[in-house]
Structure 1
Amino acid sequence: MNLHGVRPVSAGEWEKAKELRLSALRDPVAPVAFLENIVEAEAQPDEFWQGRTAGASSGRAVRQFVAEAPDGSWDGSVTVLVEEGGTIDYFGEVVEKAQGHLVGVFVRPAQRGTGVTEALFAAALEWAWSLDGPALGRVRLFVHEDNARAEAFYRRYGFVASGRIVVGTPSDPQARELEYVLERPAADR
């Protein structure tokens, strides 16, 4: 049973955000789940983490959501990046219409299968669909072809493979990342 509260991060919570991200990058699946690695992340100064957390706590461009246990510890996170129409995305493609992009999905192993991931996704999507001017038409994410557990969750949640495959990441030029999309619900259009 999930007893976690899910909420956006606050700017001053950078130490918790840093600890959770480093835990995520130590996870055995990290090499196929994240574009960043533990060595790079541990080398970042505190100012990096402060700026990253502050940037994800307000505004339209990015929002990080965390799953907070009753004792105040954090057990999971997801971040929504807003890709505005006409901009260039991470992979060098032009974004046609405003869309969300989920990144940094992580739930501590002891909390997997308890509903924490679903709660994180619900909060992230509620925020994404609530944005005005322009409204987001869809939310997408990418999953490494070897990350079957994550891919299965995304499908169960309603994301659909778009058919787009991106080959190559900074750490693995042969990696194949599969795009999954969730269209804005008709009731929210």
Structure 2
Amino acid sequence: MTTPTSDDYVVRAIRPDEWAAVKRLRLDALRDPVAHIAFLETYEDALARPDSFYQERAIGSGDGSSTAQQFVAETPDGNWAGTVTVLLEQPGTTDWAGYPVERRQGHVVGVFVRPEHRGNGLIKMLFDAGVSWAWQQSAERVRLFVHADNARAQGAYRKAGFGPSGLVVSFTKDESEEELEFVLER
């Protein structure tokens, strides 16, 4: 089998009616060997969610939304090789960790590329689409959080132009579980 190249994908926003594919990709992502440090949700929790959850998620982050956008990389046979979602955060609000949001910014979540599609530039294509959308929404910066022990993801994010801001937060009650904020300034 030949390794796919970036020319083998179409990166696009999901459509609101593609909720079943959104669900399948999320469940596959949660089976990745590093899912426990990459995602805030377990496979079992995601599997137990009703279809209406994924339907609402696809509507809220589908093509045409101005508050969130999920991008997928589609192969020529129609399979989804990877995804990123960008949420738009507004100044004057408080983020998920309790910190004030000081400026309009994109927040990248749900990053996943299937193992057989890694290492060929696909992640950068996905990030380019997500960041471009955030800039179109007048974001001043784009950020994401990555587990301190997830070196593979940190390397991919650096290649996509992101770098550590210095902010470190804990996602869990276990204070040893640190997440690093990476940012890309406009």
Question: AA paired with 1:21?
Answer: R
Which deviates the most, 102-111 or 152-161? 152-161
Question: AA paired with 1:169?
Answer: T
1:31 is the counterpart of 2:36: yes
Once residues 74 and 119 of structure 1 are traced to their aligned partners in structure 2, the CA distance between those partners, rounded to angstroms, is 14
Once residues 66 and 141 of structure 2 are traced to their aligned partners in structure 1, the CA distance between those partners, rounded to angstroms, is 15
Q: Structure 1 residue runs of 4+, over 3 Å off?
A: none
Distance apart, 1:173 and its partner CA: 4.9
Q: Which residue of 2 aligns with 1:187?
A: none
Question: AA paired with 1:181?
Answer: V
1:92 is the counterpart of 2:95: no
2:131 corresponds to which of 125, 130, 135: 125
Once residues 41 and 19 of structure 2 are traced to their aligned partners in structure 1, the CA distance between those partners, rounded to angstroms, is 18
Distance apart, 1:168 and its partner CA: 3.3
Once residues 96 and 73 of structure 1 are traced to their aligned partners in structure 2, the CA distance between those partners, rounded to angstroms, is 38
* Structure 1 counterpart SS, 2:69: strand
What TM-score do you get using the length of structure 1 for normalisation? Answer: 0.92
Specify every segment of 5 or more residues in structure 2 that has no aligned partner in the other structure, as ranges: none
* Structure 1 counterpart SS, 2:77: coil
Question: AA paired with 1:26?
Answer: R
2:80 corresponds to which of 64, 74, 77: 74
Specify every segment of 5 or more residues in structure 1 that has no aligned partner in the other structure, as ranges: 185-189
Identity of aligned residues (%): 53
Tell me, yes or no, if the aligned pair for 1:168 and 1:174 is still in contact at 8 Å: no
Once residues 95 and 169 of structure 2 are traced to their aligned partners in structure 1, the CA distance between those partners, rounded to angstroms, is 12
* Structure 2 counterpart SS, 1:26: coil
Q: Which residue of 2 aligns with 1:19?
A: 24
Give per-residue Cα distances to partners, 1:105-136, cap 9 Å, x unaligned: 000000001221111011111111111xxx21
Question: AA paired with 2:155?
Answer: A
Q: Please show how residues 139-178 of structure 1 align to structure 2 within 5 Å.
A: 139-169=142-172, 173-178=175-180
2:182 corresponds to which of 174, 180, 183: 180
Q: Which residue of 1 aligns with 2:113?
A: 107
Once residues 177 and 58 of structure 2 are traced to their aligned partners in structure 1, the CA distance between those partners, rounded to angstroms, is 28
What TM-score do you get using the length of structure 2 for normalisation? Answer: 0.94
Once residues 119 and 169 of structure 1 are traced to their aligned partners in structure 2, the CA distance between those partners, rounded to angstroms, is 31
The two structures, once aligned, show a CA RMSD in angstroms of 1.1
Once residues 139 and 46 of structure 1 are traced to their aligned partners in structure 2, the CA distance between those partners, rounded to angstroms, is 30
